[in-house]
A and B are shown apart, each in its own frame.
Chain A
Amino acid sequence: MEHAREIELIELTAGRLDAEQEKAILVHLEGCPACRTRQQDIQRTWDLLGAWQVQPAGHGDVARLAVSSGSKEEHPVRSIIRFPRIGRAVRVAAAILVAVLAGYEGGRWSIRPVPTGAEMEPPAYVSVLGFEIGDSFSSLVLQDGPSSSQES
């Protein structure tokens, strides 16, 4: 006599055999104590597993959230989060841009503007010679720097 397969006994316990299969197995079990014992073991395990009940009802209204998230177009930030590499690249690009702008602004204020002819204080020897400084002449005038005048 061929014994019942383990998977058949599991399905019999689960109540998922079709009527014909179920009848055949039950007939076999009546005449086979070994298979009956195996089926009883499976039945006990099956019943024990029923002790693990979960209660999803108290854990957030997923239906409401599903509709609320479904009612909006996908948020751009969310899509960046989904593609972390793109998000990282955007952050790096933004950091570079900020650094360049900061450097540019800092550079603008660190360079002293060169005085034009009209803004220049004429050295004493120019007036002694009877010249007047205009824009065209200013580039030719030798300026006394503050350090050289202090030395003299």
Chain B
Amino acid sequence: MYSYQTPSLAVCLSLSRVLSVGNELPSDIELMARLGRGDLAALGILAERYQNRVMSLAYRLLGDWHRAEDVSQETFLRLRQAAGQYEPKAKFTTWLYRIVHNLSLDQRRKAANDPVSLEALEADTEEMPQESPAEKRELAEAVQNAIRALPERQRRVVILHRYEGLSHEEIGEVTGWSKSAVESLLVRAYENLRKKLAFYQDFSQ
């Protein structure tokens, strides 16, 4: 259907870089409007702009890079499919995070039905660079394990709050929970983490 299928890969990405240098950066809403009109260079800019944040969130929610990649690709695919009907009611990033959150949830449900896959998912810890001191690596692992050990809803809110910097209202929009529910979950999550990481409290001083 599209006549620009083959050259789009490299061309769109390089074009997006060229367009974003020297000019004022287009806003997310402008890019979505352009994407809605079939401009794939806009998708390239959005993907470059948000791919690290999308991947990080998916990884933190799933604990597995392969699944995080799948979720990230699917997220941008959904972005393209929804661009025609996109209405900027909420902040773009909140909307984007909602897609990542829901897709990650689907992935976890699928993994839950497959015990082997869930086991692998739980066992995958982020590899720290080898030059990291052993203590730092141990601490990073302890933090990951403490977050993974939280109840599901607490885990999700603390990831969105601590690592993605979302406000309570935004977390509510992403998860579909009320603001008061989010606040209650956050209080319990940080309290649980404080207890779980009590052994390491001296590290932060």
B40 contact from A46, A55, A67, A73, Cβ within 8 A:
A67
Chain B residues within 8 Å of chain A by Cβ, number: 55
Q: Is the CB of B190 within 8 A of A59?
A: no
Within 8 A of B (CB), among A30-72: 41-49, 51-57, 59-72
Contacts of B52 in A (CB 8 A): 56-57
Chain A residues near B204: list those with CB within 8 A.
Answer: 43-45, 47-48
Distance between B18 CB and nearest chain A CB, rounded to angstroms = 15
**CA distance in complex: A42, B187 (Å):** 10
Task: Give the interface SS of chain B, mostly helix, strand, loop or mixed.
Answer: helix
With a cutoff of 8 Å between Cβ atoms, the chain B residues found around residue A62 in the complex are 47, 51, 54-55, 69, 72-73, 76
**Which B positions have Cβ atoms within 8 angstroms of A?**
1-2, 4-5, 8-9, 12-13, 40, 43-44, 47-48, 51-52, 54-56, 59-60, 65, 68-69, 72-73, 76-77, 79-80, 126, 136, 139-140, 143-144, 147, 158, 161-163, 165, 167, 183, 186-187, 190-191, 193-194, 197, 200-201, 203-205
* Known A44-B205, A60-B69; further 15 A-B contacts with Cβ < 8 A: A14-B162, A16-B167, A43-B204, A46-B190, A51-B136, A51-B140, A52-B126, A53-B140, A56-B51, A57-B52, A62-B76, A64-B9, A64-B13, A67-B12, A71-B5
